[in-house]
Every structure is written in structure tokens, then in C-alpha cells.
Structure 1
Amino acid sequence: MLLNTVPLTRDLVFVGGGHAHALVLRSWGMDPLPGARLTVINPGPTAPYTGMLPGHVAGHYGRDDLEIDLVRLCRHAGARFIQDKAIGIDRSRREVILEGRGPVAYDVASIDVGITAQMDLPGFDAHGIGAKPLDVYAARWRAFLEQVERNEASPEVAVIGGGVAGCELAMAMAFRLRKIGAPPKVTVIEAGPRISGVGSKARQTMLAAMAALGIEVRTDARVTEVRADQVLLAGQEPVRAALCVGAAGAFPHGWISRTDLPLEDGFIVVGPDLGVKGDDALFAVGDCAVMPHAPRPKAGVFAVRAAPILQHNLRAALTGGARKNWRPQKDYLKLISLGEQSAMAEKFGLTLTGSFMWRWKYRIDRAFMDRLSDLPIMAGPKPPDTAALGVRDILAAKPLCGGCGAKVGSGVLSAALEGSAPMAGEVITGAGDDAAVLRQPGGGFQVISTDHLRALVEDPVQMTRIAAVHALGDVWAMGARPQVALASIVLPQMSAELQARTLAEIMQTTREVLEAAGAQLVGGHTTMGAELTIGFTVTGRREEMPLTVAGAQAGDVLILTRPIGSGVILAADMEGRADGRDVAAALEIMGKTQDREAAILGKVAHAMTDVTGFGLAGHVRPICAASDLDAILWRDAIPVYAGARALSDAGISSSLMPSNRADASMQGGEDLLLYDPQTAGGLLAAVPASDRDTVIAALEAEGCQGHVIGQLSKGTGQLTLG
């Protein structure tokens, strides 16, 4: 039978989440190129929008208004997102070298990483902050504001650079400091004889606006050193500053200068088609690139205008089509914020100033951000005109989730396993617990379990890490030491070259996770199918009888090592409704091993399990049922992933949640997150109440988390929410 997919044959890689790449991602989601696998590499899950930075600094915009959600854009575009920093490119091997993981191969790649304002001045690295990258500066500014509000820092700021960017930020910072009641002392330091980047009329307008905000402008001032509390100038009095911001020019990222890319003053040389000079497989756009035939200032407007040409030429490079040339405009509209909700516009020497210009700028900025946040919902496949009874009901229901959200409900599974009692002999326990327990002829016990996950993210590396941690959870939950693993991999249909690349990433990640847990990969099986699916069969050893769900005692407290709510976040991510920062934070936790937690809990727990597909309530219930106990769960003590509560309250849930809810009802109230299926969820241990403080302290000492979420008592298996 033929697979109902187009095989993947080419890797397209975006290095950086700049404005041009963000716009291409939006368009790609509406018209993807069949056969191309798109990857986006960026240090963070969001990227700041240049145009709204001064407004954010001044307090007119919140952080969410400023940031482009790259995770949501990648989900919309069907792209895999890699949160990491590029540190090099090997053009002979066509690989992007990353700081925190193995290289990423490409057939075609595009670079849009912007610039930095980090300055080569004595003391600047230790005591200064560049105005770019914008996200780094914005985070430092927010931290500085908090320090000023707590009287831990004086409201003294020095801005090195009297161009448009430096003056605009100086006005924004002065306005915000005034707004929080801290009389500011902001100084702009310019090496030239006057502030630059605008005409004489616009210059006078900016100087007047800065004077009204109490900003001092030092011209013909050469910085010799930046210290913790002041900036030293040659032949002038020092400038006192608790915060020093560098905005004197645009500097290329250092890692680019260490490549063999064609460069001009450290910037990547591109031709009229935005292709890197002499390399048909590489493109560069935005401030990190330079066009010698058409020099232009470093301004975000050019990256925005270049996006349609970049998209066309990327598709041409992937399909063998003809490329188009881009002709940047010679002049562009400068819209400069003046601190308050007032702005100045300059073009062709004409200048306009006032609140109406701010409203115009606001509409332009909001329209740009709306394009990248109000993503169109793409229609799914139409149901067949004629189908068997029940088909339309299933197709009309919530789409099947990835990870543990795709599991069969516990009620259906229990019925299927009924009568599967363990045989006499070496098998101690079989189906019904986290893993089967086998008696070893030489003494001790072995546990064995298997698990696999439908892809919940597009990145095979992150997916492998989560799947391996998820499978190992069954071994850790029984207090056993991981031993060996067999991998079971289903790849989407793809070319032999992409198979090799993908399997190399999966196997490398598998070995890393297993070796960190003290286990080794001993084999497995691969095949191609409709979607990426990764699973592992794992074994572990324990000298004494492994922990099971049985054995808990009245009075034991329940300790949970991880938040709940991953199923809601992943379901919202599928719908394009999750905050990318929340998705990235949850995935990072899900990919961490729990060997330290298991070692601590395994020494004292009476019973233990890991919280996975059946949700927290569905995993507490077997502990209670096995020992005739009731459990009270303290709602406010249960940790929840950031963003999950709001999403759940908004009606978002995993496709498995209704089944979990039906199989494990609560008394005394309800919280839908208790039925949320977890992937690579936390360990849940029943621990003597007398040991709770010691256990929590031991977990904290190892850098782990432990939350006392409830207590057990004599009863009949009832769960109560308190």
C-alpha cells in the first residue's frame, strides 16, 4: 500500500529567527513545498520585533507585544524548531554547527541572525550591554528596572552612540524611569560632533525631545573604559552609570567571522538574489548580510521587504527553478519614538512630529505583529462522501494528540489485558504495573517494559530524548537501575540521504540519554511509515524486589517530581494556541532524565509509579486500589506547567482526557488537569510521612524538585480533591 504522504527529499534550514525568516515561515505554512523539510534554529523560542523595542522600553508595550512566537510559527509552517545557537557552518559537509547539540545538515540554508552592538571597549563585556541582540538587551533592561524599583540600583544610564538607535533608546529609558518615579540621569555619548543618522531639522527635533526628558548629550566624547558605576571619557568628566548600553554602530556576530563565508567588514556578502556569493546552497538576509552592489543602512525595513524574494528564491533553489533579483529602495521612512506616545517621521528630508505620528507608527507595528500572530487555520482533509457508520463521528472529534495523548484509554486497555496473569516461575509480575518483574537465576530481579510515542514535535533529536526518558520512567518508577534498550523507529517516507541524517541524529541522542542513565543501546528495528514514531524496550536491575504500585500504607504522603499539564500544552500547540515559551519550557523539562530522583525516592518509597498517559488521578488510583487506601490530593500543592492552567480553563484538552476522566473520577470537586495525559511525566511515590522533609531536602540538594501533593488513608480506593 502506498503511503498517503509526499516523501521528504531536501532539507531547508533557517539559521536565526529574524524578520525575513518569520515572514517566510508564515507564508510557508499556507503554501509548503512538498518534499522539503524545514528547520528553524534560534537561541530562544521567541524573537523581538525591532520596531516595537523603544515602545517596550518606554512601557507602552508588554513583553508579549514585542516578541514574535517562533514556536507557533514553526508549528504553523510544519517546521521543526531547534532552540540552540549557531556557532559555525561547514560548507563542504553542508552542516550548521550548533553550540549545544550535534550539527544539522542542509541542502539549502538561509542566515538571518541580525547583528550585535557588543562593543570592543575595556570593561564593556563585564559592565555593558549591547542594544542588540534585542532580546538580550530587553531582558537586561527589565532586570535593571526591577533593581531601580527595589532601590538596589541608581537610575543612571549611559548610552554609547548618538545615532537614531541610541537616542531613541535613551528617550525611551528616560521616560520609563520617570514613569516609575525614579528621577533619571540619562547621558548619550557620541564620538562625533553631533548626533547622526538624520537630517538637520530632525536632529533639532530629537535634541529638543531629549532635553525635555532631561537627557544630557556629550559630543566629541571618546570612551576609554566602562566600569561598574561609570564610563570614562578621554579629556572629559566621567559619566556615572549603573547601566551602560552600547548603541554605536552595527557589529557582525563573531562566529560568522570564523567561517569561510565571503565577508565584507564581517558581514556576509550576497548578490542581488540574496544568495551568498559563490555558494548556490546558501542565502543571507537582514542586517547580517551586505550587498556591495546596493549598499543600505542596517534597518529592519529592508529585511521585511526582502522576504517575498527570499521565499521565491529558496523554493527555486530547492526545485531547480529560476531566481529573482531584489532591488532595495534607496530611501526609507524613519519612524522614531520620542519617549512619550509621540513620534517623528523623516523621509526625503521632510520631518513630521506629534502624537498622530505615534498612532501611525503604532498601526504599522501592530499590523506587522498581527501578520505573525493571527495565523490562518489551514483546512484539514475533507471526509469521504461515503463511509462506514461512525467514521464521520471520529473525524469530527478532536485530532489525535501526539505523545501519551494518543494512548488507548485505561478502561479499554484493562479489558483487553484481563486474564493476562503472570505464569509461574521466573515471572513475578506481568501486565498491570509499570514494568514486568522477572526473577534472575543468579539472584536479584530484572524489570522489562516497552513504550513508544507518536511525534509530538518535529525535531527528531528532541523527540528521541523525550521518548527515551519516557520509556526509562518505567524502570526508574520501580527503583531499578536501567540496563539495556532496544529502539523501535518509524520514519516518515524520505530519501536515503534524509534517512541517514535523521537516523544519525536519533541514534546519537539515544546513546547520550541511555549512557547518562547508565544503560546502553543493544539493537532495535527501523521502518518507514506515515509519521515519525520512536519507542524503546528497556530493562533494569534491582537486587531487592522492585517497587510496584502495591505496598503503600495509610499515612504515607504522595510526592511528585514534575508538573502536570503537558498534555494541555501540547494539545494547544497543535491548535496553534499555546505560547511558544511555555511549549519550549515544558519540552525542556520532559527531556530531562530522572535517575537522581529515582535513586532518592527508591530508597524510602513504599510504592512508586510514573505519571504518564492516564493522568495524575489515573496513576494515584492504582496505588490506592492495590492497598485498600483513599487519597486526598491538595490542589494548590500540585505543580502545573506554566500556561497549562489558563489553557485548561479556556477549554483546551488532550484527545485522551475525556477517557481518563471517565476512568478516574474525583470526589469533593474537580480539576481537569488531574486527568491530563502526561508524556515523560514525573515520578509519583508513596513515602512515609516521617521521611517527607528528609526526602524533599535530598531532592533539592541534587537540583531536583519534589512536591508533597497529598496523603493516603485507610479506605476503599476513593480519590478526593482538597
Structure 2
Amino acid sequence: MQELPLTRDLVLIGGGHTHALILKRWGMKPLPGVRVTVINPGAIAAYSGMLPGFVAGHYQRQDLELDLLRLARFAGARAVLGRASGIDRAARLIHVDGRPPIAYDVASIDIGITSAMPDLPGFADHGIAAKPLEAFASRWHAFRARALRGEVVPEVAVIGGGVAGAELAMAMAHALRAVPSAKVTLIDRSEILSELRRSTRRALLEALATSGVVLRPQCEVDKIGPETIILGDGSTLPSHFTLGAAGARPYDWLAQTGLDLSEGFVTVGPSLQSSDPMILAAGDCAHMAHAPRPKAGVFAVRQAPVLFYNLRALLSEPAERADLHTYHPQNDYLKLISLGSKSALADKAGIRMSGPVMWRWKNHIDLAFMSKLKDLDPMTAKPLPDSVALGLRDEVEGKKPMCGACGAKVGGDILTRVLHASDGTDPHPDRGDVLHLPGDDAAILTHGDTWQVASVDHLRSFVTDPVLMTRITATHALGDIWAMGAAPQAVLATITLPPLSAALQERWLTEIMQAAQDVFTAEGAQIIGGHTSMGAELSMGFTVTGLLDRPITLKGARPGDQIILTKPIGTGVMLAADMAMQAHGRDMERAYASMVQSSGAASRILNAAHAMTDVTGFGLAGHLLGICRASQVGAHLRLVDVPLLPGALTLAKSGMRSTIFPANRAYAAEYQGPETARADLLFDPQTAGGLLATVSPMRAEKLLSALRDAGYPSAIIGEITETSGLLSVTE
């Protein structure tokens, strides 16, 4: 529970090494009243220091991955997965592709550098730049696996004969050494490694020769083809993997910020402030005017303590603000250059050493850095006081914090008893102790010849980004309308904001309402009103109506119908793991993408379904049993055919469960099947889950094909049977 109001916004633009360290430090020493936001195109950033080792095969991919979502969770920060594209300094807004602008009081830029290589004809289609690192790491991982299997000719070319290009060329040669036909060529328009001291250059040239790397100095590249490089003299060089390690440049949008730049890089002083004192910069995107240095990760890492102190100082009350700290980089720094095999060359102040010992030293430094950013303690519950009410310890001790989203729903058995008691009916008519789901997904209203449906959904926040939370909640609320086969019509919003200053209230509501408007307008609905309030934490809900010609209800399923699921399951266990800081950022990124995917097109494709619902809080088993009970039929599921979100099964096998899982499991009394981790995911509460439809077996394959063509990872997961109320499941 957030007790102190938020009053200021700190925005970290980019997930570079410096900002990763800032997130770790902020989690250990936050500044009360500050909301931290980190903006990055993806959930994962790659650590450049271990990239050559990964390329060579010494590290697994996860070894060099910095999980920004996990770091943000540790820091209590909002993670925005998007690409910054500009800064409006007058309005103090940061523009991010595909979402409302983000307001800031203080901002920091650590976006690294990009490559000029895409300007080379054919490179965008047939080459890959060394930076951003994540894209290159993914592409190389796939190519190396194919080359070792003999599925592709292992001819590789690296364009750019600096230290980075040489390191990567030797790493590639080592990785492909088991393939006799492998060939790695290093190309540069001038001399190879011309920026180094003579003795260091000579040592690295010898290492390149030992690795078998072919050197092509003073060689212009004219064009990149699918399997060849066309050189300036008209000759060609075969290459099935072309890497660009030259032409590093700043991102173009920095030129539009109005900040002072040096050859496109943000000019900063000793305090790391730019020409705008409320915008700081660090890492490769910054130019230290007071002490120019080459682009190197060592400076980014050592800037972190200064940047952290200064960001806090700029956001603190003036009475508490001390003088800003200054960063003065060392004149020379230790260069540890990988030589392909587990050997490295160390160079500083003209002193060189090389061999396996230097590799072990480098490996120790790299692993220590990564450990600093990966060893994060998850949130723990506050200890209870000595004297508490009867039963409180049973409810609290040994239990993890309550999940958000649909994992925070009230159990189906409680809902059934309350709803039936409220209308005076027996909650278990003629069924002993077997429970029933409440009625259809939405209430059906008639106005003359017009059919209208209405439903409401409200979610407790489970992400710190109000925009992402809004998109998921809106999609979740629309699910009941789509499940009835209706077209969304009108919307009422209910928003509870956490403690915020008046300025931040306006910022949050602006982002929330713009995001909601974008979702509902795209689906043909209009927001016609709503209600806002302040509370302990962010929560939001939407009441939605829709119009239709023929309602698709829970009744109508027929024996022999095929069961179609339009989205994978697993959001409940993923969100529970995220709270416990055990989820992988890349898997969470995919889970969020699934939750914000509209089911509007799927609803239209399935408009002839015999019965349909959306899979939400009661889990796949609970919602399918709702159809079975209403239609007086049974169902058979094939577990192997049920699509799962990446990472969900691994987490389930580890014992991870949502807090509502036990209630969902007990609610599905008619379940007959295996008791395994995969089966447990049938009872996992879903947020903004897919549609679950029963369709004629004559049309099932055609509908499945249409759904997949529309971008849904759909599957036929079973069929309707005659045994009333029974859900049988096989592996």
C-alpha cells in the first residue's frame, strides 16, 4: 500500500548500463514522493561486455541479459516498453511511439548509440548491426545453431575493423571452428585496428591471424545482397551473415530536442547535466565536453553513482539539496579484449598482458557486474504485531501478497452463494454440492427490436504503468461484450487514483483517458462518462454496452462441437511470478502483448458459434464448465493442444500459483483428469484472456484458419460430449 503521495516524475529514457545501475540503487534507496519511469523498446537489454563471449559460445544468452522489467519492479518504477522519439522541453513531455506522451520533472537519457550501417544499400534487408545488442544477439544465436547443424553455409563477414569488429570476428571464428568450411572476413575501408597503439595493434593482428579471420583492409563496401557483399571495385564476397560493426552514430531524434549537441551526441558537463539542467545524459549517447573520451562501457558504469546522486538532488527539497557531484573520468582505462577462445588481451598505459588468466579476470569482472543487477530480493510481507485478531495469522502468515488483476477476484463458490441468495434461489438445485457459475457474460436488454448487452469489469492494478493498465483493463472489460457476439457501443469509466499531488493527478488521468479513448474508439465504442476518486492504490473499471442481432450465450453447445480457444493461457501464474520477481522480462512482455490484443475480430469470425464465453478469472476449466452446465453437456480437453504463454509452464512446474488458484480448483468439482503442472494451468485466472467457443465440426478448421490469419494464436483444444457437466481431460 502506498502511504505517501507522489509529487514528482523522474523519467529514465533508455535502458543502458548506467540506467540499469540507477534502478538497482533506487530500489535500495528510493526518494519518497518520486515516481520513476524507465522507457526502453524491449524488456531485455544485453550487456555489451559479455557479448563477444556469447558470440563465441562461452555464455548462454540469458547470461548477458539485463531484465529491465525485473529491475523496474525492484525499484518500484514504471516500465514503459516503447521507443522514445522526442522531447518537448517547453511542455516537459517525452514522446514515445504508440502511446500518450510522458510528463517529466527531471529526465535522464541513456539510449546508447545506433548504427549508420542501414544507410548502406541492402543492409537493412540482409545485414544486422552490432547495436542495438539485443537484435544482433537474437539473430546470431539462430544463425550459429543453423550453421552447426549444416543448414546454412557458414560464411560470415564483419564490416568495421575497429576493436569491436575484431573482437566479434574472432568470437565468430571460434564459435564456428567445428565447421571445416567456416570462413570469417573482417572488412574496413581503412587499416584494421588503426586507432590502437602500434604494439597493441600488432598483438591483435596476430590474434586475428591465429583465429583464421581473413582481413580485407582499405576495402569499400558498395551494397549488401542476400548472400553476397558487393565491393566498391565490383567484386563480390560471399556472406550468409553480414554484421555491421562500423558507423556508430547518435539517434536522429536527439537533434530535434534543442539540447546542445556535439556531432549529434548530448553535450554534458561534469554534473552530467545537459544544456537543460533538468535533463541529464550518460553512457555512449553523451559527450563529456569537459573531458572527451572514446565510447566505452567503463565510463557508463562509473557515471552511475554521480548520476544517481544528482537525480535525487534535483528532485529533493531545496533545503536538503547539496551541491551536485561531478564526474571526472580517468585519463586511461583498462581495456580487456576478448580473443575468441577463453583468452583475452589486457592493455593499459602501454602495458599489455594476454592469455587465459586475462580471460578469467575479465570473466570475473563481467559476472560481478551482472550479479549486481540480477541479485534482487523480492517484496516481503510486513511482520504482524504481537497482538492481532483471532484468525488473522491463519489468513496472513505463510501466504504471499495478494495477486492483482483477475488473481484478486472473489472465488466462484462465494459469488455463486451470494448471487443465488440475493435472488432467493437455491444455489445448488438438484445437484447436491456441485456449484454453478453465475449467468452469461453480459446482461441482455431488449428495446423493441433492438438487443443490447451490458457488463462491467474492474481490476486492481498489477502494473505500475497506468497506460498499460488501462489498455489491459479496457480489453478485459470488452471481453464480455465480444463473448456475446456484440459490437461495443458505450462506456462508463471508474478510476481510483493512488495518493498523488494535483499535478500528477492531472498527468495520470490524462494518460489513462487518452489510452482508454484509443482502445474503445478503435472498437467503435464511445466513452460517455465516468467517476474518479482517490484511494490507497490504482484501480480501474469500465462498464460497457454493446449492440447485437443474436446473442451468443453459454447455452447452445452441442455434442460433437469442436472447442476453439483464441489466446494462450497463463497470465495468472505470470503475474504472480512477476510480483515475486521470478518472471522473465521477455515472457512478461509477451504476456502483456497477449492481454492487450483485441478480441473484436475474433468475435466477428466466431459469430456463428453455438456457445461462447471469454476466459477470465475462473480459468479455462471454470469457464468451459460454465458452458457445459448451461448447455447440459460435457467436454473433453486435450492438454497438449491448449496453447500456453511462454514461461507459464516452467513457472507452474516450479510451484508458482495465483492466489485465487485454490478457489478455482475447488470450484471445478466436475473435473476429471491429470494432476500435473500443465493441468493446473486450466484453473489459472486469466486477465483479458481469449474467447472460448464451441462450433460445428464442419466449420471448425475453416474458422481456425481465419483466426490464425487474423493474428490469433488459436487452437482446437477438444470437443463437446454428451455426459452432462463432466470435464474430462487427457494429456
Report TM bin, short chain: over 0.9
Q: Which residue does the alignment assign to 2:629?
A: 625
Q: Which residue does the alignment assign to 2:104?
A: 106
Report the CA distance shift for 1:413/1:217 in structure 2 as closer, same or farther (over 3 A).
same
Q: Which residue does the alignment assign to 2:548?
A: 542
Tell me by how many angstroms 1:251 deviates. Answer: 1.3
Q: Which residue does the alignment assign to 2:16?
A: 18
Q: Which residue does the alignment assign to 2:718?
A: 710
The structure 1 residue matched to 2:407, chosen from 405, 408, 429, is 405
Structure 1: how far apart are the matches of 2:288 and 2:463? 37
Q: Which residue does the alignment assign to 2:372?
A: 371
Describe the SS at the equivalent of 1:329.
Answer: coil
Contact 1:42/1:85 (8 A) holds in 2? yes
Matches within 5 A, 1:569-608: 569-603=574-608, 605-608=609-612
Tell me by how many angstroms 1:704 deviates. Answer: 2.6
Residues 1:435 and 2:433 aligned together: no
Q: Which amino acid aligns with 2:167?
A: E
Contact 2:113/2:251 (8 A) holds in 1? yes
Matches within 5 A, 1:227-626: 227-233=225-231, 238-248=236-246, 250-277=248-275, 279-319=276-316, 320=318, 321-322=321-322, 323-396=324-397, 397-421=399-423, 432-440=439-447, 442-544=448-550, 546-603=551-608, 605-626=609-630
Tell me by how many angstroms 1:95 deviates. Answer: 1.1
Q: Which residue does the alignment assign to 1:688?
A: 696
Q: Which residue does the alignment assign to 1:426?
A: none
Q: Which residue does the alignment assign to 2:163?
A: 164
The structure 2 residue matched to 1:67, chosen from 65, 68, 89, is 65
Matches within 5 A, 1:136-147: 136-146=135-145
Tell me by how many angstroms 1:123 deviates. Answer: 4.4
Matches within 5 A, 1:48-127: 48-119=46-117, 120-127=119-126
Contact 1:171/1:213 (8 A) holds in 2? yes
Contact 2:643/2:714 (8 A) holds in 1? no
Contact 1:57/1:173 (8 A) holds in 2? yes
Q: Which runs of 5 or more structure 2 residues have no equivalent in the other structure? A: 426-436
Contact 2:415/2:438 (8 A) holds in 1? no
Greater mean deviation of Cα atoms: 145-154 or 294-303:
145-154
Report the CA distance shift for 1:537/1:189 in structure 2 as closer, same or farther (over 3 A).
same
Greater mean deviation of Cα atoms: 670-679 or 186-195:
186-195
Report the CA distance shift for 1:194/1:150 in structure 2 as closer, same or farther (over 3 A).
closer
Structure 2: how far apart are the matches of 1:182 and 1:527? 69
TM-score (ref. length: structure 2): 0.93
Describe the SS at the equivalent of 1:418.
Answer: helix
Residues 1:660 and 2:664 aligned together: yes
Structure 1: how far apart are the matches of 2:646 and 2:246? 38
Contact 2:568/2:713 (8 A) holds in 1? no
Structure 1: how far apart are the matches of 2:122 and 2:634? 62
Greater mean deviation of Cα atoms: 566-575 or 247-256:
247-256
Q: Which amino acid aligns with 1:411?
A: D
Report the CA distance shift for 1:705/1:124 in structure 2 as closer, same or farther (over 3 A).
closer
Contact 1:177/1:183 (8 A) holds in 2? no
Describe the SS at the equivalent of 2:640.
Answer: helix
Greater mean deviation of Cα atoms: 113-122 or 500-509:
113-122
Greater mean deviation of Cα atoms: 625-634 or 331-340:
625-634
Report the CA distance shift for 1:674/1:156 in structure 2 as closer, same or farther (over 3 A).
same
Structure 1: how far apart are the matches of 2:528 and 2:619? 31
Report the CA distance shift for 1:313/1:542 in structure 2 as closer, same or farther (over 3 A).
same
Report the CA distance shift for 1:210/1:515 in structure 2 as closer, same or farther (over 3 A).
same
Q: Which amino acid aligns with 1:618?
A: G
Report the CA distance shift for 1:507/1:543 in structure 2 as closer, same or farther (over 3 A).
same
Tell me by how many angstroms 1:625 deviates. Answer: 1.5
Structure 2: how far apart are the matches of 1:142 and 1:98? 29
Contact 1:160/1:246 (8 A) holds in 2? yes
Greater mean deviation of Cα atoms: 510-519 or 486-495:
510-519
Residues 491-542 of structure 1 show CA distances to partners (whole Å, capped at 9, x for unaligned) of 1110111111111111111111111111111000000111110100111122
Q: Which amino acid aligns with 1:25?
A: L
Residues 282-330 of structure 1 show CA distances to partners (whole Å, capped at 9, x for unaligned) of 0100000011111111011111111111111000111142311111111
Matches within 5 A, 1:183-222: 183-222=181-220
Tell me by how many angstroms 1:456 deviates. Answer: 1.3
Greater mean deviation of Cα atoms: 74-83 or 112-121:
112-121
Greater mean deviation of Cα atoms: 571-580 or 59-68:
59-68
Residues 1:719 and 2:719 aligned together: no
Contact 2:479/2:599 (8 A) holds in 1? yes
Report the CA distance shift for 1:701/1:126 in structure 2 as closer, same or farther (over 3 A).
closer
Q: Indicate the percent of aligned positions where both proteins have the same amino acid.
A: 53
Q: Which amino acid aligns with 1:406?
A: A
Q: Which amino acid aligns with 2:583?
A: A
Structure 2: how far apart are the matches of 1:206 and 1:564? 51
Greater mean deviation of Cα atoms: 86-95 or 699-708:
699-708
Q: Between Structure 1 and Structure 2, how many residues are aligned?
A: 709
Tell me by how many angstroms 1:716 deviates. Answer: 3.4
Contact 1:405/1:613 (8 A) holds in 2? yes
Report the CA distance shift for 1:432/1:227 in structure 2 as closer, same or farther (over 3 A).
closer
Contact 1:187/1:215 (8 A) holds in 2? yes
Describe the SS at the equivalent of 1:7.
Answer: coil
Describe the SS at the equivalent of 2:328.
Answer: coil
| Cα root mean square deviation, aligned | 2.0
Contact 2:12/2:109 (8 A) holds in 1? yes
Tell me by how many angstroms 1:569 deviates. Answer: 0.4
Residues 697-717 of structure 1 show CA distances to partners (whole Å, capped at 9, x for unaligned) of 222233333311122222231
Greater mean deviation of Cα atoms: 147-156 or 614-623:
147-156
Structure 1: how far apart are the matches of 2:343 and 2:546? 66
Report the CA distance shift for 1:138/1:480 in structure 2 as closer, same or farther (over 3 A).
same
Tell me by how many angstroms 1:641 deviates. Answer: 0.6
Describe the SS at the equivalent of 1:336.
Answer: strand
Tell me by how many angstroms 1:237 deviates. Answer: 5.7
Structure 1: how far apart are the matches of 2:139 and 2:13? 24
Structure 2: how far apart are the matches of 1:23 and 1:182? 43
Structure 2: how far apart are the matches of 1:38 and 1:262? 25
Q: Which amino acid aligns with 2:394?
A: D
Contact 2:642/2:717 (8 A) holds in 1? yes
Tell me by how many angstroms 1:175 deviates. Answer: 1.3
Report the CA distance shift for 1:624/1:260 in structure 2 as closer, same or farther (over 3 A).
same
Q: Which residue does the alignment assign to 2:654?
A: 650
Describe the SS at the equivalent of 2:327.
Answer: coil
TM-score (ref. length: structure 1): 0.94
Q: Which amino acid aligns with 2:690?
A: G
Structure 2: how far apart are the matches of 1:6 and 1:53? 42
Report the CA distance shift for 1:547/1:121 in structure 2 as closer, same or farther (over 3 A).
closer
Contact 2:496/2:532 (8 A) holds in 1? yes
Tell me by how many angstroms 1:178 deviates. Answer: 1.9
Structure 1: how far apart are the matches of 2:2 and 2:13? 31
Tell me by how many angstroms 1:591 deviates. Answer: 0.5
